[in-house]
């Protein structure tokens, strides 16, 4: 049913309503072989989207296809091909890692015991240790081992590096990078760690308060944001006019220096600034963390 042409994810008009929160009209596309980073503040809806994709929650509206299978009808087929790890997922603490591995092995015929052995060494985990004795980082690595060793076609990772020490974080990122060498395998992961998202992702999806702010390839996304420093006669009215410009996400002044963070601020925007009497002194790219903080503070209105 699925081929290389089948996208890993195809979401149209996803809606989910709760009493205090709602996901509005989410569209996502993840081609096979790509990695998408899902970025957003706490409560933006990242985990909800992941749970809907894996069939743990039913959407209220929308069309969702994972690996060519419709959610929720094809959830069993999806779960055979998709590995899901979330921050709130726990294993059976009275059992050993080895028991969990044998359990997963009995369900998934593609379980790769040799690869599982490599991951054990790489993650520095002891198979015969009871899970109760695992630290948070070890538990996350154990969960990752359990899904990586069965070679799923799509990984859905909800905050995989949150709470990990730097060494563990690097181990996980290296393991993910290895996954991505296989062109048939895709990853959707959410993280607060914008460095990881920036480092690994092909596509960045930005969520804020249940709405999709942006979903595009990383280069386009990053290049659409700029930090623009201008100089000029700063007064309140001028600042209000600058802030009202649709491209401006944030504007701060310090005396005659105005620092703007803008999205899609091309030549036309720059000439409008000049028409207001401002001289542009610096235009420089922004990193993802900066974009993230700016957007959240701006209320995601961009």
Partner 1 sequence: MNTHSLDFPMIKLLVLKDWHIYQKQLAAYVVGMLIGLTLVSVGKNWSFYLGALILLVLLICAGGFAIQSSVLNERKEHTLPFVMSLPVTPMDFYWSKLLANTVIYLVPFSLVVGGTVFLVLFTPLPDGLLVWSLLIYGFLAMTFCVSLCVALVVESEGWNIFVQIGLSTMVSPFIMGIGQIDAIAQNIKTANIVWSLPALGIFLAQAIVMLVALGITSWVQRRKTSFL
Q: Which residues bind partner 1 (CB under 8 A)?
A: 51, 54-58, 60, 69, 72-77, 79-80, 83-84, 86, 88-95, 99, 103, 106-107, 143
Longest dimension (CA), the chain: 71
Shortest Å distance, C-beta 21 to partner 1: 13
The SS3 of residue 46 is helix
- Terminal CA-to-CA distance of the chain, rounded, Å? 38
Shortest Å distance, C-beta 127 to partner 1: 17
For tokens 């990984």, the residue is 155
Q: Tell me whether residue 21 or residue 92 sits nearer to partner 1 (CB atom).
A: 92
The token pair at 290 is 């900066």
Q: Tell me whether residue 73 or residue 182 sits nearer to partner 1 (CB atom).
A: 73
Shortest Å distance, C-beta 226 to partner 1: 40
Shortest Å distance, C-beta 68 to partner 1: 12
Shortest Å distance, C-beta 83 to partner 1: 8
Instruction: Give the number of other Cβ atoms within 10 Å of residue 52's Cβ.
Output: 24
Residues ≥6 apart with Cβ < 8 Å to 198: 37, 204, 218, 222, 287, 288, 289
Instruction: Give the number of other Cβ atoms within 10 Å of residue 187's Cβ.
Output: 25
Q: Tell me whether residue 77 or residue 298 sits nearer to partner 1 (CB atom).
A: 77
Quote the CA–CA distance of 48 and 143 in Å, as a whole number.
19
Q: Tell me whether residue 73 or residue 240 sits nearer to partner 1 (CB atom).
A: 73
User: Degrees (nearest 5) of the Cα angle 257, 218, 154?
Assistant: 150
Shortest Å distance, C-beta 31 to partner 1: 23
Q: Tell me whether residue 55 or residue 210 sits nearer to partner 1 (CB atom).
A: 55
Q: Tell me whether residue 33 or residue 72 sits nearer to partner 1 (CB atom).
A: 72
What's 299's DSSP letter?
Answer: T
């Amino acid at each position: 049913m699925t081929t290389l042409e089948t996208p890993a994810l195809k979401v149209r008009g996803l809606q989910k309503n709760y009493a205090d929160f709602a996901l509005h009209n989410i569209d996502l596309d993840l081609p096979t072989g790509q990695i998408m980073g899902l970025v957003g503040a706490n409560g933006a809806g990242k985990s909800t989207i992941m749970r809907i994709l894996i069939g743990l929650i039913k959407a209220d509206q929308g069309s969702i296809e994972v690996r060519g299978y419709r959610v929720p009808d094809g959830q069993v087929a999806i779960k055979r091909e998709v590995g899901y790890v979330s921050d709130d997922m726990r294993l059976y603490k009275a059992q050993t890692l080895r028991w969990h591995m044998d359990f997963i092995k009995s369900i998934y015929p593609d379980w790769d015991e040799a690869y599982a052995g490599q991951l054990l060494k790489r993650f520095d985990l002891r198979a015969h240790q009871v899970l109760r004795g695992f630290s948070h980082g070890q538990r996350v690595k154990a969960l990752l081992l359990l899904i990586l060793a069965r070679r799923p076609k799509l990984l859905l990772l909800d905050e995989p590096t949150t709470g990990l020490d730097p060494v563990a974080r690097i181990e996980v990122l290296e393991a993910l990078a290895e996954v991505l060498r296989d062109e048939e395998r895709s990853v959707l992961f959410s993280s607060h760690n914008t460095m990881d998202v920036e480092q690994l992702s092909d596509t960045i999806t930005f969520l804020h308060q249940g709405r999709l702010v942006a979903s595009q390839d990383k280069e386009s996304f990053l290049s659409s944001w700029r930090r623009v420093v201008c100089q000029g006669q700063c007064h309140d009215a001028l600042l209000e006019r600058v802030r009202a410009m649709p491209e401006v996400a944030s504007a701060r002044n310090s005396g005659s220096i105005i620092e703007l963070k803008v999205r899609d601020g091309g030549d036309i925007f720059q000439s409008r600034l000049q028409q207001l009497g401002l001289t542009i002194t610096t235009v420089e790219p922004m990193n993802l963390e900066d974009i993230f903080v700016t957007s959240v503070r701006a209320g995601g209105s961009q």
